Structure 1
Amino acid sequence: MPTTHVFAFAGSLREGSYNRALLRAAQEEAPEGVTIEIFDLTGVPLYNADLEAKGDPDRVTALKDGIRTADAVLIATPEYNHGVPAVTKNAVDWASRPPKDSPLDGKPVGIIGASPGMTGSARGQSQLRQAFEFTNSYCMPQPEILVARAHEKFDEEGRLTDEKTRSFLGKYLTAFEEWATRVSEDGR
């Protein structure tokens, strides 16, 4: 059985991030044949065209290489002030450059998220989807993972303890693998 390699990152730099914890749970719940590599965005500088003109910083090169070599990308984004946080958007901005050689071009993308709030990062995810229109990436429209009240669903060690959420995450990942395979077969 071929393996689907998913490159994943959380749009949070916080060590105890619920979104990093959600990605670790995704690794545990990934269906057979799916591997999820988690990339840490720590050290990726704010996008700056002057910096880009001098050559991509090492962490940016690692981000782009990870996306380019993966079959699909999975992003776990928090939501700050009803929107996508700068850390998440910055990673997408770097990965979109240069537009004619972006590793995101034609890439299947899944967006998930966790938040202590009641909407579970719905607004942040919605805004992030808009960015992928420009990058010509294929965002999976359904199902969605919107982990609300995240502080009640993860334990002190960052383990997802809510079985209903864990079960739905497994179903999401199965759908995501099917989405990534279909996109790859249709257009790549």
Structure 2
Amino acid sequence: MTQFQIAVIVGSLRRDSINRKLASALAKIAPSEFFFKQLEIGDLPLYNQDDDPNPPAPAKRLKGEIMAASGLLFVTPEYNRSIPGVLKNAIDHASRPWVQNAWAGKPAGVLGASDGANGTALAQQHLRNILAHVDAPTLCQPEAFIQIEDGFFDEAGNISSERTREFLKAWMDRYIAWVKLHAAPF
């Protein structure tokens, strides 16, 4: 069976992050030929162009994991109406130097969760703009702005609401088709 490895980038470092929980729940509703690996971005130093000739070890690891993946899944909160700094830092590390841009050509999906009614709409729009610049073809529709309320996840980390599960399954189906259209399996 053909396997697709998906690099999951969660834009939150918080241990109990709702976006990390959402990323894990999404992986459970994907087809079995898709393998989701959450990448570590919290150990990256701040990006410094002076380091381009000899990047720090965490940046080399991140780029290698991205390059080995068939696709990308970004699950991000919204901080001050944009993406978290740690996520932007990871994007900068993996895109530089430009001739070694690890994001180029990798099909991407973007979604996020918040306890607010607007979900993560502005963060997702900013992230889509950045991903366009780094040449990561990004699924545009359907958009998924998830509002997390008490009881959203059950004790096993699954999505409690059948209606929400159905919506996210439809989103996942579109994402899977997007990755298959744009990526080679590993």
TM-score greater than 0.5 by the shorter chain:
yes
Residue correspondence of structure 1 range 86-97 to structure 2 within 5 A = 86-97=85-96
TM-score (norm 2): 0.90
1:153 aligns with 152
2:30 aligns with 30
Q: Distance in 1 between matches of 2:78 and 2:52?
A: 31
Residue correspondence of structure 1 range 1-188 to structure 2 within 5 A = 1-50=1-50, 52-53=51-52, 55-154=54-153, 159-184=158-183
TM-score (norm 1): 0.89
Distance 1:64 1:168, change over 3 A: same
**% same residue:** 35
Q: Distance in 1 between matches of 2:150 and 2:123?
A: 18
Q: Which runs of 5+ in 2 are unaligned?
A: none
Q: Distance in 2 between matches of 1:43 and 1:142?
A: 32
Q: Distance in 1 between matches of 2:22 and 2:148?
A: 13
Q: Which runs of 5+ in 1 are unaligned?
A: none
Please give the per-residue CA displacement for 1:17-45, whole angstroms capped at 9, x wherever unaligned. 01110111012111231111111222112
Distance 1:62 1:152, change over 3 A: same
**Would you say the 8 A contact 2:62–2:94 is kept in 1?**
yes
Q: Distance in 2 between matches of 1:58 and 1:163?
A: 42
**Would you say the 8 A contact 1:31–1:173 is kept in 2?**
no
Q: What is the root-mean-square deviation of aligned Cα atoms in Å?
A: 1.9
Q: CA deviation at 1:184?
A: 3.0
The aligned amino acid for 1:40 is E
The alignment partner of 1:63 has SS state of helix
Kindly tell me the number of residue pairs found equivalent between the two proteins. 184
Larger helix proportion, structure 1 or 2? 1
The alignment partner of 1:13 has SS state of coil
Q: Distance in 2 between matches of 1:64 and 1:150?
A: 35
Q: Which runs of 4+ in 1 moved over 4 A?
A: 155-159
Q: Distance in 2 between matches of 1:173 and 1:125?
A: 17
Distance 1:151 1:61, change over 3 A: farther
**Would you say the 8 A contact 1:18–1:150 is kept in 2?**
no
The aligned amino acid for 1:74 is L
The aligned amino acid for 2:183 is S
**Would you say the 8 A contact 1:114–1:150 is kept in 2?**
no
